[in-house]
Amino acid sequence: MTATAPTKSRPAPRPKQDAYNHYGQKIGSKGERTRQLLIDITVDLLESHGLRDVSVVDVARAANTSPATFYVYFRGVPEVVLAALETASQTSPELEALLGQDWLSPGADKNALPFVEAYTALWNSNSTIFRVRNLAAEEGDDRFYKARMLAATPLMAALTEQIARAQAAGRTPADLSARACAGTVLMMLERLAAVGPITHEDQTINYAALKAAAAYTLANMLGARG
């Protein structure tokens, strides 16, 4: 039996502001709609194809437009993904509020599972472009590496601060790097979000069990106690 992946939602529309193509030319509302359509079509194609398998011609054909129109807005398919990543956040007010709690107070460990649930749900709502981004980054594309690091920055900073508090309180080993610990937590959560929905369930392991184990690890890293 395979766990069912969460329903995906599209990234929020770009903020209402002057928009420009990659030539620096201002585009109007019709051009912005065309640009967004190209982004949406590309993401749809990437749900079942790798980044290298999707061509400009594929995107243009699926969008009922021409490659020439595509090139008005983007230099290539990777640039479309980078544009999609601009509106796909890996943090949220809910996550920031949970992480901002006093994790050293009694019962704070109960915040861990809601945090893991919120993180994985957010990641899974943008899983296609996050997957493509991560693979491209791991293959050495510096643009995607920078996009990945930028997306992780808010939670990285907040986790580092909370882990440092736990170290000062003697609840987390002081000889560990707080930033390295934060990075390890985020790597764990990102991997969990990526593979959890496709985990083959048995009596001892499923997506829910993996999230519970991740929550326990998170709570301990932040010095939380029941």
Q: What is the pLDDT of residues 115-139, one digit of tens each?
A: 999 999 999 999 999 999 999 999 9
Query: What is the C-alpha to C-alpha distance for residues 214 and 226, in angstroms, rounded to an integer?
Result: 16
Q: How many residues does the chain have?
A: 226
C-alpha 216/C-alpha 219 separation (Å) is 5
Residue 108 belongs to a domain: yes
Do residues 162 and 107 share a domain? yes
Domain match, 78 and 119 both: no
Domain termination residue (choose one: 29, 62, 85):
85
Q: Is the distance from CB of 22 to CB of 73 less than 8 angstroms?
A: yes
10 band by pLDDT with thresholds 50, 70 and 90: very low
Tell me the pLDDT band of 12, cut-offs 50, 70 and 90. Answer: very low
Name the token pair of 86: 């601009």
Query: Is 202's pLDDT higher than 80?
Result: no
Q: Compute CA distances 11 → 14, 81, 143, 160, 223, whole Å.
A: 9, 12, 20, 27, 34
Task: Give pLDDT, residue 29.
Answer: 82
The predicted-structure confidence for 69-83, as pLDDT tens digits, reads as follows: 999 999 999 999 999
Could you tell me if 172 and 68 lie in one domain?
Answer: no
Cα(193)–Cα(134) distance, rounded to whole angstroms? 13
Residues 98 and 192 grouped into a single domain: yes
Structural domain that includes position 157: 93-221
Q: What share of the chain is helix, strand, coil (3-state, %, to 5)?
A: 65, 5, 35
Q: Is 14 part of a structural domain of the chain?
A: no
- Are 73 and 153 in a shared domain? no
What percent of the chain is modeled with pLDDT above 90? Answer: 78
At 226 the pLDDT is 65
CA atoms of 137 and 115, how far apart (whole Å): 26
Q: Taking residues 140-150, what's their average pLDDT?
A: 95
What are the tokens at 59? 């995107």
Contact 118, 109 (CB under 8 A): no
- What is the pTM (predicted TM-score) of this model? 0.83
pLDDT score at 203: 65
Judged by average pLDDT, the poorest of 32-36, 56-60, 161-165, 198-202 is 198-202
* Residue where a domain terminates, one of 85, 115, 138: 85
Predicted pLDDT of residue 27: 72
Host H or E run for residue 130: helix 127-138
Residue 30 has a pLDDT of: 84
